[in-house]
Structure 1
Amino acid sequence: MTDLPALSQAPSSLATVSTDTGRLGTRANLDAAGKKFEAIFTGMMLGSMRKAKLADGLFESNALTQFRDMQDQQLAKAMAEHAPIGIGKAMTEFLAKQGGDTLK
């Protein structure tokens, strides 16, 4: 009826998940990922705090909101770099333990 192969004849590479962890091979890559994670988490926290405003300001506009969002992103990056809250370091240490001796 059809020219499609049976599912049992499908290549095995389609059914597997890649286990390549080569990009996590160095401690520097892991530390950089931890700092980026910290910045993203802090940015989300700042965004949630901004959404919980009690009243609309007198001079609120879309441009001001967009500028404030960009400012919050830069603030989150600076906070992750200079005054981290520790979640990025905790993630880095956890992944380093999972990686075992493969991290250099």
Structure 2
Amino acid sequence: MTAPVSITGQTGIASGLDRTQSKDSLKKAGQQFEAVFTGMMLKSMRQAKLADPLFSSQALDTFRDMSDQKVVQQMADHTPLGIGKAMTDFLSRSIPAPSQPDLNQGSATRVE
């Protein structure tokens, strides 16, 4: 017997929108965005080819791409450019603050 699958939304597919509900997951999404953005920037710089490479092969290209992925992830985790934080700050403004109980309700204080 299989476990029941949780179906959400009209399409029956989980939308993934619940991940914006927590600050930690939003921060992780910002770091991932930073890594993707930095990776695209590095790839674009490599495509500019200011000089012909001394050695060229498919294996070297694959290794360089894997190395670049690791470098950009480390950059995003330890020395970010700030684009991920800017995105996280922007998106966190749309998350409603958790409601806190009003401390003044129910207790009438009398000042004399």
Q: TM-score range by the shorter chain?
A: 0.7 to 0.9
Selected match of 1:21 from 17, 33, 49? 17
- In the alignment, the residues of structure 2 paired with residue 35 and residue 20 of structure 1 have an alpha-carbon distance, to the nearest angstrom, of 17
Distance 1:19 1:63, change over 3 A: closer
Name whichever structure is richer in helix by fraction: 1
Moved more, 75-84 or 52-61: 52-61
- In the alignment, the residues of structure 2 paired with residue 19 and residue 58 of structure 1 have an alpha-carbon distance, to the nearest angstrom, of 47
Q: What root-mean-square deviation, in Å, do the aligned CA atoms of Structure 1 and Structure 2 show?
A: 1.9
**How far 1:26 sits from its partner (Å)?**
0.6
Moved over 4 A (4+): none
Q: Which has the higher contact order (CA 8 A, sep 6+)?
A: 1
Gaps of 5+ in 1: 1-12
State TM-score, norm by structure 2: 0.70
Number of residue pairs matched?
87
Percent identity, please.
52
